[in-house]
Amino acid sequence: MGPSAALGDQRASMEVVKDWNGIDQVVLRAPRGASARASLHGGQVISWRNGRGEELLFTSSKAIFRPPKAIRGGIPLCFPQFGNCGSLEQHGFARNRMWVVEDDPPRLRTGESTGCVSVDLLLRPSEEDLKCWPHCFEFRLRVSLGADGDLSMISRIRNVDGKKFTFSFAYHTYLSVSDISEVRIEGLETLDYLDNLCNRERFTEQEDAITFESEVDRVYLGSPDVVAVLDHGKKQTFIIKKEGLPDTVVWNPWEKKSKSIVDFGDDEYKQMLCVDGAAVERPITLRPGEEWTGRLELSAVPSSFCIKNLDPTRSI
């Protein structure tokens, strides 16, 4: 299981290590010092560091790294259900299961492979999964780290059942921020959103940018493929690019709810913000043999960067 590295560049590397519970983690390292770490517990990216070694994802100090509990932080994969909008456990079961490294995955279509070092992970349903969600699928995830430190994830979900099935999905991305009061989101203005704090009632965003003064739990509908999260405290901007994911979820639990979450620190809401590429409002239906692909790319740039400079038509 060797590294998938750029030709002629031996500094990009991949290795498999074990965490303190004996669970395998895959560590990707880019030539300029950036790194990413994915746990086979949940197929979950739990760390993404820039070339200076600074952590860009949030993980709670109270996170539980033992199955079947999901890891509070990083980028959990919500499948086949987002939230509690269905009969399954919160956010589905994919983030609670053990994945495997796939050494010889089916080839990605031209232009889909990104990054100088990558790993391919695979999840198939267990007998217990089929009891609660009776559909056979193959969920393939490619995690890639670019030479410049950008993190990309490509999810491919294939229906290998004899009947169609429907699912919702999200990359539940926990970003690390300086202070939530110093953060704003650009790119979602004027959009309609479903407010989970108001029984999923539909509203229209009235502000020029989203800022935070209380709990927020919204699904922005038909969102653009590029969204920016500006952190004034760190003088840093996260650029979130997505494909195949029509919605954007924004969540911060704020003070009261934080105290009710067992695996979350009382004041940790100040240092995190979830901004998810998602398919929530209109679930995805696959007929037998069909495959769906959803892509996410994250980059961190100086805050002098302006979202208006982005070309929203450029593919990731």
Domain ranges for the chain, please list them.
3-178+248-309
Confidence of residue 3 (pLDDT cuts 50, 70, 90): very low
Q: Give the per-residue pLDDT at 114.
A: 58
The annotation status of 95 as a binding-site residue, yes or no, is: yes
What is the biggest distance separating any 2 CA atoms in the chain, rounded to whole angstroms?
55
| Region for residue 213 given its phi and psi (left: phi exceeds 0; alpha: psi -120 to 50; beta: otherwise) | alpha
What are the angstrom distances between the C-alpha of 217 and each of 146, 174, 251, 264? 31, 14, 4, 17
| Region for residue 87 given its phi and psi (left: phi exceeds 0; alpha: psi -120 to 50; beta: otherwise) | alpha
Confidence of residue 316 (pLDDT cuts 50, 70, 90): low
The annotation status of 90 as a binding-site residue, yes or no, is: yes
Q: Which of 272, 267, 265, 254 is nearest to 62 (CA)?
A: 265
Q: What is the pTM of this model?
A: 0.91
Q: Give the per-residue pLDDT at 307.
A: 53
Q: Which of residues 12 and 172 earns the better pLDDT score?
A: 172
The distance of Cα 58 from the centroid of its chain, to the nearest Å, equals 12
Percent of the chain with pLDDT over 70: 91
- DSSP for residue 210: B
> How is domain 3-178+248-309 classified at the CATH fold level?
Beta-galactosidase; Chain A, domain 5 (2.70.98)
Round the CA-based radius of gyration of the chain to a whole number and report it.
19
d(CA 160, CA 286): 10
Q: Within 10 Å of residue 262's Cβ, how many Cβ atoms?
A: 8
The annotation status of 156 as a binding-site residue, yes or no, is: no
Q: Is the pLDDT of residue 60 over 70?
A: yes
What is the overall mean pLDDT for the chain? 91
Convert the pLDDT of each residue in 279-298 to its tens digit.
999 999 999 999 999 999 99
Q: Is the pLDDT of residue 315 over 70?
A: no
Q: Is the pLDDT of residue 306 over 60?
A: no
Convert the pLDDT of each residue in 98-121 to its tens digit.
999 998 888 887 555 556 899 999
Confidence of residue 4 (pLDDT cuts 50, 70, 90): very low
d(CA 199, CA 283): 18
Report whether 25 contacts 46 (CB < 8 A).
yes
- DSSP for residue 63: -
